[in-house]
Structure 1
Amino acid sequence: MGVAQAYLNQKKLDAEAKQLHTNATNFSKQTQQWVNLVDSFSNALKDLGDVENWAKTIEADIRTITTVLEDGL
């Protein structure tokens, strides 16, 4: 009886270990998808910051040109 019970317990443990491995693999894939999503979002925010900086630079240049033209006239 003890050997049979040990065999059944080992079989259950093997099945649970396999399920745990499957769950861990799925979790790893989902985590990687989240990491990729956050990286994409971070890059999009960086691009927005670059555009804002570019716009501010253009605005400053236009103000300088406007000032020069107004003072020259």
Structure 2
Amino acid sequence: MRAYLNQKRLDTEAKLLQLNANQFAHQATQWLKLITSFNQALKELGDVENWSRSIETDMRTIASALEYVYKDESAEQQQQQQ
């Protein structure tokens, strides 16, 4: 009789352990999805940062070219006025 009760208690504990293991696996899967999503967001931020640096470099190049052209035209106009 005692062995039967012990076996029944072990079965109950095993079922509880299985339930807890399943819940833990589900939580771990959710955590993994969150971490994957977070990593993707970080990658996208890095991509945006690189893109903005590229745009900034292009804008500086354009601004320098426009400044050079403006100075050149200003110098020509001054020469024509003299």
Q: How does the TM-score come out when normalised to structure 1?
A: 0.91
Q: Which runs of 5+ in 2 are unaligned?
A: 71-82
Query: Is residue 8 of structure 2 the alignment partner of residue 28 of structure 1?
Result: no
Aligned to 1:42: 39
Shift of 1:44: 0.6
For the aligned residue pairs, the C-alpha RMSD in angstroms reads 0.7
Identity of aligned residues (%): 56
Q: Which runs of 5+ in 1 are unaligned?
A: none
1:6 corresponds to which of 3, 8, 11: 3
Larger radius of gyration: 2
* Deviations, residues 25-51 of structure 1 (Å, cap 9, x unaligned): 000000110110011111111111101
Aligned length: 70
Any runs of at least 4 consecutive aligned residues in structure 1 with deviations exceeding 6 A, and if so which? Answer: none
